[in-house]
Amino acid sequence: MVVLALLGLQTLILAVAAGAEGDAQADKVSAGQRLYREGILSSGEAVTGFTHGDIPIFASQLACESCHRRSGLGSSEGGKVVPPVTGQALFQDREHEQQAPFRSRSMSVGGRPAYELSSLADALRLGVDSGGNELDPLMPRYDMSDSDVEALYAYLETLASELPAGVDDSKVHLATIAAKNADESERESMLEILKAFAADKNADTRNESGRSVRGPYFRAYMDVSYRKWDLHVWELEGPSETWFEQLEALYEEQPVFALVSGIGEGSWRPVHDFCAVQEVPCIFPITDRPVLDEDFYSIYLSGGVYREAKAVAEHLNDKLSEEPALVIQVYRAGSAGEAMAEAFLKAAEDSSATIEAVRVAGSDPPSANFWETLYRERGPGIVLAWLGSDDLENLGSGAGLGPATPSLVILSDTLSGDGAYSVTGPIRQQVRVVSLLELPERRERGLLRLRTWVKPRGIEINHPRVQADAFLAVTLAGSAVKHMRRNFSREYMIEIVEHGLDNSVFRSVYPQLTLGPNQRLASKSAYILRPSPDAEDGWVAVDAASSY
């Protein structure tokens, strides 16, 4: 009995010790992550060091992530190749000839033994690799304690050390958001594109998986990343404020590697926050209310209503400086129009204009009397009508009454869609439309590739922007997965999308799309359009400087 008791006590002591050791290791990894991503030492101070021998640099300039990227898989720029620093890359011997088949001679990397803790310390402090070779002068020489080196070592061991959640040897689990508060027709149009692409991709995967087994070594290297896609449709219920908890439950049931596209009404903040917490990529969701905080894991096509509001404020800058400038914002409470009105207030906060709010009540479109009263009582001010297409039905009523006519009526392409371009009557010449999309006469050209792809699949184009955005998101996601090779990493997926967007032939319906490292809004432009003087239904940019 005494022996059993002693054995039980010994087991308990060992378990406690193992738990304490595990906690200590987790703390070490956490400290190493902060050092790698932010350049902050375990003391809480910014790391310091030198580059090119004697040039001092600090903190974020010295964060490993800034060059080796968050994935740890490296980068290249200006002829300089930044090598990978994942555990797999650092902590095993590297043979020169292993690099040669996949690099040009100028990019070849010499052999060296595997790094150990002491040789990693020498690389960080002295700029000497594990083989005794001097590292590039661009590589900083850090002022770093032994404990910080140990923490960084522990974190680097975790980079790309195993398949991430949502990936196994045969499948990649992906998800898309199909919120039930979105327009049903738009939701189904998005899903039709995503499901068709996944079906095509899985058909190809069967062939590529066979080649990776039977083909020569260089094909095996290229095909090893091929896996079947399992596309999960996450149908979220209720207002967007309730989505975070629903996403957590869905993810617990089935983790996914990434979110691709997605659609829903309301702020995208809950999805954005979920992706930040779980470190799950969210690639180009279809939302007019993105989150402008530049968190690493969510990438948006545009700034939505917030970007449009800023463009309008910039366009009206001179008018808003005049006295007395009056701006009337018309919107429905709780709508995307209200979010746009708030964004405009913030963008125009330094102006001397008087900015008033008029909230539309009820569910019916504002009546002719509503607009007539607004124009008569407010005089020739600037009206910003942040409303849906149906709410513009009587917008022209009461115009042409001399001084009661507003000097400008600005509408949103994002909120009003085609209705923004369909206003008739005398007020039409006062109408301006802010748009994040390509000029109307050029949009069809941008859709040609999509139309070619959907035709043999029997898909109709009934919501061009939604379907084009979904197609762009899923093609870029597919390309990213394909080019990962053996390096399945969520962070690497985002980095590939950052670099791959510029090379994408398909651009959806936007005038410009480009991303750089850590940029999270692909479209940087907005147009202010007015009715064309030469074509009855045409619209032209207001001036040469119409891209904001």
For 14-39, the pLDDT digits (tens) are 444 446 667 788 899 999 999 999 99
Per the CB < 8 A criterion, the answer to whether 86 and 492 are in contact is no
Residue 175 pairs in a beta bridge with: 232, 259
Pairing relation of β-strands 382-385 and 326-332?
Answer: parallel
With 0-12 / 13-18 / 19 or more C-beta atoms within 10 angstroms meaning exposed / middle / buried, residue 25 is: exposed
Of 20-34, 98-112, 192-206, which gets the smallest average pLDDT?
98-112
Per the CB < 8 A criterion, the answer to whether 37 and 127 are in contact is no
**Eight-class DSSP state of 136:** P
Nearest residue to 352 via CA among 379, 327, 332, 323: 323
Per the CB < 8 A criterion, the answer to whether 273 and 282 are in contact is no
Average pLDDT over residues 482-508: 90
Per the CB < 8 A criterion, the answer to whether 291 and 303 are in contact is no
Same domain for 414 and 461, yes or no, is no
Tally of CA atoms within 13 A in the half-sphere of 501 that contains its CB: 27
Average pLDDT over residues 449-462: 96
339 falls within a domain:
yes
Distance CA 509, CA 439 (A): 9
pLDDT at 443: 84
Same domain for 410 and 355, yes or no, is yes
CATH number for the domain that contains residue 390? 3.40.50.2300
pLDDT at 259: 98
Tally of CA atoms within 13 A in the half-sphere of 446 that contains its CB: 23
1 falls within a domain:
no
Average pLDDT over residues 152-165: 91
Same domain for 337 and 384, yes or no, is yes
Same domain for 36 and 154, yes or no, is yes
346 falls within a domain:
yes
79 falls within a domain:
yes
* 518: Cβ contacts below 8 Å, ≥ 6 apart: 294, 296, 498
Decide if pLDDT at 97 tops 80: no
Decide if pLDDT at 408 tops 80: yes
pLDDT at 128: 93
* 521: Cβ contacts below 8 Å, ≥ 6 apart: 290, 292, 300, 301, 302, 303, 307
For CA atoms 112, 118, 120, 122, give the dihedral sign: negative
Give the DSSP per-residue string, 432-473: EEEESSPPHHHHHHHTHHHHHHHGGGT---SSHHHHHHHHHH
pLDDT at 101: 38
**End position of a domain, from candidates 392, 408, 435:** 435
Residue 13 pairs in a beta bridge with: none
Count: domains in the chain:
3
Same domain for 189 and 279, yes or no, is yes
pLDDT tens sequence across 350-368: 888 899 999 999 999 999 8
Decide if pLDDT at 267 tops 50: yes
Same domain for 381 and 474, yes or no, is no
Average pLDDT over residues 306-318: 92
**End position of a domain, from candidates 435, 465, 488:** 435
Q: How confident is the model at residue 235 (pLDDT cuts 50, 70, 90)?
A: very high
* 333: Cβ contacts below 8 Å, ≥ 6 apart: 359
20 falls within a domain:
no
228 falls within a domain:
yes
Same domain for 148 and 117, yes or no, is yes
Q: How confident is the model at residue 47 (pLDDT cuts 50, 70, 90)?
A: very high
pLDDT tens sequence across 415-452: 999 999 998 888 888 999 999 999 877 888 889 999 99
Same domain for 295 and 323, yes or no, is no
Average pLDDT over residues 403-407: 75
pLDDT at 94: 80
Per the CB < 8 A criterion, the answer to whether 481 and 225 are in contact is yes
CA end-to-end span of the chain:
82
Distance CA 53, CA 140 (A): 9
103 falls within a domain:
yes
Decide if pLDDT at 320 tops 60: yes
546 falls within a domain:
no
pTM: 0.86
**Eight-class DSSP state of 257:** S
- Percentage of residues in the chain having pLDDT higher than 90: 61
Distance CA 127, CA 35 (A): 18
pLDDT at 59: 63
Nearest residue to 446 via CA among 431, 421, 460, 467: 467
Its domain, for residue 215, covers 171-302+443-503
- Mean of the per-residue pLDDT values of the chain: 86
Same domain for 233 and 282, yes or no, is yes
Same domain for 348 and 464, yes or no, is no
Nearest residue to 409 via CA among 392, 418, 401: 392
What is the amino acid identity at position 372? E
**End position of a domain, from candidates 158, 191, 223:** 158
Pairing relation of β-strands 527-531 and 539-541?
Answer: antiparallel
Residue 450 tokens, joined = 């999509």
Same domain for 153 and 40, yes or no, is yes
Please state the φ and ψ torsions of residue 237, each to the nearest 5 degrees. Answer: -110, 155
Of 81-85, 455-459, 461-465, which gets the smallest average pLDDT?
81-85
Decide if pLDDT at 509 tops 80: yes
Q: How confident is the model at residue 100 (pLDDT cuts 50, 70, 90)?
A: very low
Residue written as token pair 């002022």: 143
Task: Evaluate the omega torsion of the peptide bond into residue 84 and state whether it is cis, within 30 degrees of 0.
Answer: no
Same domain for 321 and 389, yes or no, is yes
Average pLDDT over residues 408-417: 95
pLDDT at 20: 61
